[in-house]
Amino acid sequence: METTHSGLEPGLYIVAGPIGNLGDLTPRAAEILRLADVVAVEDTRVSARLLRHAGSDRPMVPYHDHSAEGVRARLVERMASESVALLSDAGTPLISDPGYKLVRDARAAGRKITTLPGPSAAIAALTLSGLPTDRFLFMGFLPNKAKARGDVLAEVTALRATLVFYESGPRLSESLSAMAAHLGDREAAVSREISKTFEETATGTLSALSARYADAPPKGEIVVVVGPPGEAPPASAEDADAALLEAMTRLPVSKAAGEVAKKLGLDRRTLYDRAMELKG
C-alpha cells in the first residue's frame, strides 16, 4: 500500500467537525487533521480554530463547489499522491456545505475516498424532536422568496415523511407560517444552538411555534423538524352506519358491506353483520 510521508494513504478524507461543541470532534477525525498533507476548508479563519484544537499545523486551502474548476482539478490531482482532508465550518461536509463536486470528481478519477463520520445538525435535531424518525427528508434551506418557498413546500405536501429544514432566526416565524399554510398545521420542533450553552428545543404546532417566535426571533443556529401529515382519524360507528345505509340504497347488502369496508378501512364481515341488523 502506497502511503504519504505522514503514513496516510493518498486520497480524500471527508472529516466531520463539531456543530458547536469542540468536544464532539472524534479522536479519529483529529488524527486525520494532524496527518493530512493538506486540509480543504470553507473558511480558513473558522477552520484554523478547529485545527488548533486538534493540534494540527497542516496547511489549508479554501475550497467551495463554486470554486474555479482549476481549484478542484488540482485537489483531485494531489489526491493521487497526497492525503487531502475536506473540512466544513461546522458538522458534516456536503450537508448544506461544499464537497459534493469534489467527491464526484475524485470518484471519477478513481481516487481513494473515505469518510470520518460525525455530527450533523439535521440528524441531531431529528433525534431531539420526538417526531417519527423511520422516514425523513432533509430539505436544506428553503428559498428566501415566498413564491419559490411555496413551490418547494408544494412538492412535499403529500409525502408521508418527517421533514428537516435548516433555518435562521430572522426568517424563522415567517417560514413556520409558510410551512403551516402549505403542509397543514403539523406538529413540529425547533432546535437551536445544539451542543452549545444555550441549546433549546421548542415543540408544538407550526402555527403555535410561528406565533411564539413572531416578536422574538431567536438567536443562533436553528433546525426545524416537521412531522408527517396526520393519519385520518378512524371512522366512527356513526360514520360506518351512515355509509352502509347510503350504500344499501344502491347495492345488495354484501356488496354494500364490501364497498364501505374498502372506503373506510373497516372489517367487511363486521360491516355485513351490522348491515343485516340495520336492514332488519
Cβ distance to ligand SAM smaller for residue 182 or 196: 196
- Residue number with the smallest Cβ distance to ligand SAM: 91
Cβ distance to ligand SAM smaller for residue 50 or 266: 50
Cβ distance to ligand SAM smaller for residue 88 or 173: 88
Cβ distance to ligand SAM smaller for residue 16 or 60: 16
The answer to whether 129 contacts ligand SAM (rule: CB under 6 A) is no
The answer to whether 24 contacts ligand SAM (rule: CB under 6 A) is no
Of 8, 1, 12, 3, give the one whose Cα is nearest residue 79. Answer: 12
Kindly tell me which residue out of 63, 166, 213, 272 binds ligand SAM, with binding defined by CB under 6 A: 166
The answer to whether 188 contacts ligand SAM (rule: CB under 6 A) is no
The answer to whether 177 contacts ligand SAM (rule: CB under 6 A) is no
Task: Pick the piece of the chain touching ligand SAM (CB under 6 A) from 59-67, 118-126, 208-216, 239-247.
Answer: 118-126
Cβ distance to ligand SAM smaller for residue 95 or 275: 95
Residue 145 to residues 117, 141, 157, 166, 180: CA-CA distances in angstroms? 34, 12, 18, 16, 16
The answer to whether 167 contacts ligand SAM (rule: CB under 6 A) is yes
Per-position x/- string for 74-103, each x denoting binding to ligand SAM as judged by CB under 6 A, each - no binding = --------------x-xxx--xxx------
Cβ distance to ligand SAM smaller for residue 185 or 200: 200
Q: How would you write the chain as a 3-class SS string?
A: CCCCCCCCCCEEEEECCCCCCHHHCCHHHHHHHHHCCEEEECCHHHHHHHHHHHCCCCCEEECCCCCCHHHHHHHHHHCCCCEEEEECCCCCCCCCCCCHHHHHHHHHCCCCEEEECCCCHHHHHHHHHCCCCCCEEEEEECCCCHHHHHHHHHHHCCCCCEEEEEEEHHHHHHHHHHHHHHHCCCEEEEEECCCCCCCEEEEEEHHHHHHHHHCCCCCCEEEEEECCCCCCCCCCHHHHHHHHHHHHCCCCHHHHHHHHHHHHCCCHHHHHHHHHHHHC
Q: Provide the pairing of β-strand 11-15 with 113-116.
A: parallel
Q: 165 forms bridges with which residues in the sheet?
A: 140, 224
The answer to whether 192 contacts ligand SAM (rule: CB under 6 A) is yes
Per-position x/- string for 195-234, each x denoting binding to ligand SAM as judged by CB under 6 A, each - no binding = xx------------------------xxx-----------
The answer to whether 19 contacts ligand SAM (rule: CB under 6 A) is yes
Residue 196 CB, nearest distance to ligand SAM (Å)? 6
Binding site for ligand SAM (CB under 6 A): 19-20, 88, 90-92, 95-97, 120-122, 166-168, 191-196, 221-223
